[in-house]
């Protein structure tokens, strides 16, 4: 916790500065060759948006706004950032959660099977599948999945987002393909990590002792080996969830979902600083929080783990 | 006891569950299949009927619904259905009455418009000349977040004659007024004081056939029929969802599956969709012709020599671009694109006189100019796939005359900034629609910011400047025609810019949607006349 807060503060400074390093500003994003504004007019526009204030003043306004829950409004649509993110966050969170759940529910058992059936045909098949999962770009898989379902089943997910609280089944159906596409690489990584970790743990003395005492293979795995084997897997999930959220941006564009990633990408193109800053800080917050949760989970999984005071 | 699931003996419990899951998934997908699943031609033409809804795929978010000073076409998709102007275009781009039923041009500096009586805004207010005055003054100096554009006609002031009559007093003769209004994109009319009454960036109050119900950024705009629309009987459909689908494959799959009813696709996708009996495909040349642009700022650029620019033009084989980048679906383009009917230089002349691929001539010109060994140059390009491909083709072709082109793909914000400020040597881009053909030549008008950014100090042609002014001042169409042909002749002799090709644009419509005419501007302005068959 002591490290999380300075990390987040540092992130806000970095995000604030990085977005202003991009060439151009919101006026140039609007104009191109068709804009005829004089330099004075463009300056007046920037002034009205607060972009001519000194950088420390702009940063202070941004930071205090975030802390007070007032993230400001989009320069272009005028909508409150809180409303825009309020629409976007559930989508990306849902994709991330579904993708993670799917990756864990499928990846861990596959990893276990692969470890137990080491060097047999199932093991080889699973490991080859894992390589595909790691190698296939998820946006390409997403496009392929869309093409397959549209041409074979004449079906694609509904184009406008269905909130889960409005139609649970419809929402799950809509989110299935994007979540599957996003989950592939994490699923493969979880499978491989579980396999490697489990093989290592299965060679430990206490496991051999348990087997010698007559415990069944399933009991040895579930009661003795898996808990320890999952520690690095949890680390992997925690590290990758941030990537999932960022990687979901491309999938959100492919499937036309107005999630956090899609919103961030479009706002970056348009130099809509309030959206970029707030969205990036949100992602940073999620990443830091998740890693904190992962660190706390270690203790639950392995009580021997102690943290330095 | 051995656990069969672990040892895999026989058909395990796990295998049975997996098989069952696969079967269930297949069953679920089949049950979710669109009612129009499977090749099935539905041809229902005849009398238009009211009712129904359509989903239209648009390539980007509107960004802002503000009617004044927003230059992005993605905003025009929605705003062209919500707002109107004094006049409009029919399907042949003939100017037709809009909010004005008639107009007079008593002299070259005066336009008088007579407004349609009884027109109401979505908020219930009745349209008057005060609203027109407010709107055009706001177009001239857009409130934030809008920006001034180069297209506003030379209107000095707007006078209200009576509640239904408005007069434009021009600062100088300007023949672009009607085209500017018909184009819609910059000439929307809204109620006086609208910017104080609501946030125009995310709400709208127009006179158009549709009203904005909801705007979800990066997702969709929901429109519903305006029951008080002045053109009785229109629009036919009750609701429209303008869905943002930036990825062309998403549009393609949406059209084939039936989740999208109308959308624009590229040439390659049109080929894929051609065999689908549930889809209709229409095409027209886009006004957004592709162009190679130079800056000529008197900095001793190699291409400041007209012979070098002529050599560049002669070294470009446009047919290769048409074939390899656009699958044969593109036309040669002059500075005025072919979508403007006969205003542009005829294709036959382009092919025989102006845009002739001749490498020997190109090399000879380079030699005469003293650049036999060529030079290095950076060519900035948008990352839009076809434009980047055009840049790559140009780079390859110009190697033949020893011009070593480094293609530099740029993100759109940076590209736009460089384009606006003239911070480039060469750029390849797509131009856009214009209300009046003359506006394609505004690049060479010394009073415009484009000229000042790209050519000031490096290129000037007095005859061209005079022709631009003459064309604006001339009211006789035939004479304007002659003026602009002459202007194009100068441009395609001196090549301060190099127009390349005008790709075709393809509008795909599900067969349930009838009478959806294609818009040269690439928007959906004719949607009010489309209807959904039963």
Residues A101 and A60 in one domain: no
Residue A227 covered by a domain: yes
Domain boundary among A67, A83, A101: A67
- Predicted confidence at residue B34, as pLDDT, reads 39
B144 in reach of chain A (CB within 8 A): yes
Residues A97 and A36 in one domain: no
Tell me which residues of chain B, numbers 62 to 91, contact chain A at a CB-CB cutoff of 8 Å: 63-65, 69-72
Instruction: Work out the number of other CB atoms within 10 angstroms of the CB of residue A15.
Output: 20
Residue A85 covered by a domain: no
Model confidence at A232, pLDDT cuts 50, 70, 90, reads confident
Q: Find the closest chain B residue to A177 by CA distance.
A: B29
Residues A188 and A269 in one domain: yes
Residue A266 covered by a domain: yes
Say if the Cβ atoms of A270 and B63 lie within 8 Å.
yes
Residues A43 and A117 in one domain: no
Residue A168, domain CATH: 1.10.3720.10
Q: Using only the alpha carbons of chain A, give its radius of gyration.
A: 24
Instruction: Work out the number of other CB atoms within 10 angstroms of the CB of residue A101.
Output: 12
In terms of residue numbers, what domain contains A216?
Answer: 91-301
pLDDT digits (tens, 9 = 90+) for B300-314: 999 999 999 999 999
Tell me which residues of chain A, numbers 172 to 231, contact chain B at a CB-CB cutoff of 8 Å: 173, 216-218
Residues A63 and A98 in one domain: no
Residues A253 and A148 in one domain: yes
Tokens of A32: 């191109």
Considering A146-150, A163-167, A190-194, B79-83, the range whose residues carry the highest mean pLDDT is: B79-83
Residue A20 covered by a domain: yes
ipTM value for the complex? 0.81
A146 in reach of chain B (CB within 8 A): yes
Residue A118 covered by a domain: yes
Residue A251 covered by a domain: yes
Nearest to B6 among A23, A217, A256 (CB): A217
Residues A42 and A164 in one domain: no
Q: What is the pTM of this model?
A: 0.84
Sign of CA dihedral A301, A303, A306, A309: positive
Nearest to B218 among A36, A266, A271 (CB): A266
- Predicted confidence at residue B28, as pLDDT, reads 43
Query: Would you list the DSSP string of A193-226?
Result: HHHHHHHHHHTSHHHHHHHHTT--HHHIIIIIIH
Say if the Cβ atoms of A32 and B144 lie within 8 Å.
no
Tokens of B248: 């062309």
Residues A292 and A153 in one domain: yes
Nearest to B30 among A38, A147, A153 (CB): A153
Mean pLDDT of chain A: 83
Tokens of B423: 């911070």
Residues A57 and A121 in one domain: no
Residues A158 and A215 in one domain: yes
Residues A34 and A95 in one domain: no
Whole-angstrom distance, CA of residue B221 vs CA of residue A159: 12
Average pLDDT over residues A181-206: 88
Mean pLDDT of chain B: 89
Count of CA atoms in the C-beta half-sphere (13 A) of B424? 30
pLDDT: is A290 or B8 the higher one?
A: A290
Is residue B218 helix, strand or coil?
A: coil
B341 in reach of chain A (CB within 8 A): no
Domain boundary among A14, A35, A67: A67
What's the number of domains chain A is made of? 2
Say if the Cβ atoms of A77 and B37 lie within 8 Å.
no
- Predicted confidence at residue B36, as pLDDT, reads 39
pLDDT digits (tens, 9 = 90+) for B416-466: 889 988 999 999 999 988 988 888 998 999 988 889 999 999 999 999 999
Residues A61 and A207 in one domain: no
Residue A309 covered by a domain: no
- Predicted confidence at residue A37, as pLDDT, reads 60
Residue A58 covered by a domain: yes
Domain boundary among A23, A52, A67: A67
With beta carbons under 8 A apart, name residues in chain B contacting A253. 246-247
């Amino acid at each position: 916790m002591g490290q999380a807060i300075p990390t987040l503060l540092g992130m806000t400074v970095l995000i604030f500065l990085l977005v202003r390093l991009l060439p151009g500003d919101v006026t140039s994003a609007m104009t191109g060759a068709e804009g005829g504004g004089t330099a004075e007019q463009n300056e007046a526009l920037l002034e009205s948006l607060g972009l001519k204030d000194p950088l420390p003043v702009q940063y202070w306004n941004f930071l205090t706004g975030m802390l007070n829950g007032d993230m400001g409004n989009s320069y272009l649509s005028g909508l409150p950032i809180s409303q825009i993110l309020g629409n976007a966050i559930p989508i990306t969170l849902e994709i991330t959660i579904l993708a993670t759940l799917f990756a864990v529910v499928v990846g861990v058992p596959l990893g276990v099977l692969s470890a137990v059936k080491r060097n047999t045909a199932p093991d080889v098949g699973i490991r080859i599948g894992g390589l595909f999962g790691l190698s296939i770009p998820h946006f390409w898989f997403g496009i392929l999945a869309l093409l397959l379902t549209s041409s074979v089943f004449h079906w694609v997910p509904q184009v406008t987002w269905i909130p889960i609280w409005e139609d649970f089944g419809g929402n799950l159906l809509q989110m299935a393909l994007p979540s599957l596409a996003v989950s592939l690489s994490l699923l493969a990584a979880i499978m491989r990590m579980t396999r490697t970790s489990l093989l290592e743990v299965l060679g430990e003395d206490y496991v051999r002792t348990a087997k010698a005492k007559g415990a069944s293979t399933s009991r040895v795995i579930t009661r003795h080996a898996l808990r320890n084997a999952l520690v690095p897997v949890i680390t992997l999930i925690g590290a990758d969830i941030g990537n999932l959220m960022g990687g979901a941006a491309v999938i959100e564009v492919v499937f036309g979902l107005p999630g956090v990633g899609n919103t961030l990408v479009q706002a970056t193109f348009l130099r809509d600083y309030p959206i970029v800053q707030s969205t990036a800080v949100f992602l940073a917050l999620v990443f830091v929080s998740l890693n904190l949760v992962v660190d706390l989970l270690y203790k639950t999984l392995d009580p021997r783990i102690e943290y330095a005071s | 006891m051995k656990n069969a699931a672990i040892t895999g003996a026989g058909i395990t419990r796990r295998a049975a569950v997996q098989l069952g899951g696969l079967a269930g998934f297949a069953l679920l997908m089949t049950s979710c299949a669109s009612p129009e699943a499977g090749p099935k031609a539905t041809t229902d033409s005849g009398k238009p009927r009211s009712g129904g809804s359509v989903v239209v795929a648009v390539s980007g978010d509107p960004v802002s619904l503000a009617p004044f000073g927003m230059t992005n076409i993605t905003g025009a998709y929605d705003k062209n259905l919500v707002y109107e102007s004094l006049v409009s275009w029919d399907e042949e781009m003939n100017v037709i009455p809009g909010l004005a039923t008639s107009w007079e041009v008593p002299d070259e500096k005066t336009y008088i418009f007579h407004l349609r009586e009884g027109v109401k805004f979505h908020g219930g207010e009745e349209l008057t000349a005060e609203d027109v005055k407010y709107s055009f003054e706001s177009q001239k100096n857009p409130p934030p977040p809008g920006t001034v554009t180069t297209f506003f006609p030379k209107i000095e002031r707007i006078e209200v004659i009576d509640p239904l009559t408005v007069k434009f007093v021009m600062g100088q003769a300007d023949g672009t007024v009607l085209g500017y209004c018909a184009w819609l994109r910059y000439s929307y009319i809204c109620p006086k004081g609208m910017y104080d009454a609501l946030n125009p960036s995310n709400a709208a109050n127009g006179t158009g056939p549709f009203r904005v119900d909801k705007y979800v950024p990066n997702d969709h705009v929901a429109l519903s029929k305006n029951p008080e629309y002045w053109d009785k009987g229109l629009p036919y459909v009750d609701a429209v969802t303008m869905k943002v689908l930036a990825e062309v494959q998403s549009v393609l799959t949406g059209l084939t599956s039936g989740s999208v009813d109308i959308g624009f696709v590229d040439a390659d996708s049109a080929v894929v969709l051609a065999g689908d009996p549930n889809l209709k495909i229409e095409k027209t040349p886009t006004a957004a012709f592709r162009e190679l642009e130079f800056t000529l700022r008197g900095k001793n650029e190699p291409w400041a020599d007209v012979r070098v620019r002529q050599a560049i033009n002669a070294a470009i084989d446009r047919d290769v671009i048409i074939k390899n980048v656009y699958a044969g679906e593109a036309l040669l383009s002059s500075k005025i694109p072919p979508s403007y009917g006969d205003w542009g230089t005829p294709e036959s002349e382009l092919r025989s006189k102006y845009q002739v691929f001749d490498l020997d001539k190109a090399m000879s010109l380079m030699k005469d100019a003293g650049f036999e060994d060529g030079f290095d140059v950076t060519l900035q390009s948008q990352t839009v796939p076809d434009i980047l491909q055009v840049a790559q083709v140009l780079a390859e072709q110009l190697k033949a005359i020893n011009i070593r082109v480094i293609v530099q793909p740029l993100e759109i914000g940076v590209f736009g900034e460089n384009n606006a400020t003239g911070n480039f040597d060469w750029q390849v881009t797509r131009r856009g629609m214009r209300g009046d053909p003359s506006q394609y030549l505004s690049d060479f008008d010394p009073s415009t910011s484009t000229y000042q950014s790209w050519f000031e100090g490096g290129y000037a042609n007095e005859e061209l400047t005079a022709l631009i002014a003459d064309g604006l001042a001339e009211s006789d169409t035939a004479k304007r025609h002659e003026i602009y042909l002459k202007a194009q002749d100068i441009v395609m002799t001196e090549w301060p810019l190099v127009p390349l090709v005008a790709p075709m644009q393809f509008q795909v419509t599900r067969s349930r949607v009838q009478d959806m005419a294609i818009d040269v501007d690439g928007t959906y302005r004719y949607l009010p006349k489309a209807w959904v068959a039963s």
